[in-house]
Chains A and B, each alone.
Chain A
């Protein structure tokens, strides 16, 4: 089946720094999605990308759908302590009964 490689696995940064994480796949997707999971909770959708090359922002978050449709990145600017959590990328094919394939996540720690 399809697999997503998400990197880095973990990040330790100072408050105020910018963060970048990415996701790559050996096959194409029609949609890329980014989620954030707080401890003990279910993931929450942050950004959805539907077109190759699309760049979308949500507050301090910016994500891009790669031109090849096989990758995506997420940037967080001016990190704050509440950005702590696990960030997941997910790829989706329109013909797949709504199923998404998830990366293994990037664990973000922000030091005040």
Chain B
């Protein structure tokens, strides 16, 4: 199974509050893991990716950070949320080690108010 567990499904947070979104994956060890954000009516923007424990690469400068404390755990965080952080956040794992696409989690809808 290549199942991805993502929670919570929805979240409403005030501006300036902290954020922690968690993603855990099943299946083969040492997967490539990704955090994407999807704005309303738009495509997917890659935020972070990780090829191993403790290895994080950031794609765009932003108010968010990511960590990978365990092989199958990927966390997206913020110390102080901005209105512009609202969106649909998706965790994904690579299928196999080659370019075989992603398996996505069911996403977290974040609304910053």
Residues of A within 8 A of B (CB): 4, 6, 30-31, 33, 35, 40-45, 48, 50, 88, 90, 92-94, 97-105
- Does the CB pair A98–B49 fall under 8 Å? yes
Q: Given A88-B43, A98-B32, A104-B42, is A42 in contact with B109 using a C-beta cutoff of 8 Å? A: no
- Does the CB pair A33–B101 fall under 8 Å? yes
Query: What CA separation (Å) do A45 and B103 show in the bound complex?
Result: 7
Is the C-beta of B87 less than 8 angstroms from some C-beta in chain A? no
Q: Which residues of B contact A41 (CB under 8 A)?
A: 106-107
- Does the CB pair B49–A48 fall under 8 Å? no
Q: Which residues of A contact B51 (CB under 8 A)?
A: 97-98
Interface residues on B, range: 20 to 34
Residues of B within 8 A of A (CB): 4, 6, 32, 34, 36, 42-44, 46, 49, 51, 57, 59, 90, 92, 94-95, 98-107, 109
Q: Of A30, A42, A45, A101, which contacts B101 at CB under 8 A?
A: A45
- Does the CB pair B57–A100 fall under 8 Å? no
Q: Which residue of the partner chain A has the closest CB to B90?
A: A42
- Does the CB pair A42–B106 fall under 8 Å? yes
Q: Which residues of A contact B103 (CB under 8 A)?
A: 45
- Does the CB pair B105–A31 fall under 8 Å? no
User: Can you name 11 extra interface pairs (CB under 8 A) apart from A40-B109, A42-B104?
Assistant: A40-B106, A43-B44, A43-B104, A48-B99, A50-B99, A94-B98, A97-B49, A98-B34, A98-B49, A100-B102, A103-B43
Q: Given A30-B99, A33-B101, is A99 in contact with B49 using a C-beta cutoff of 8 Å? A: yes
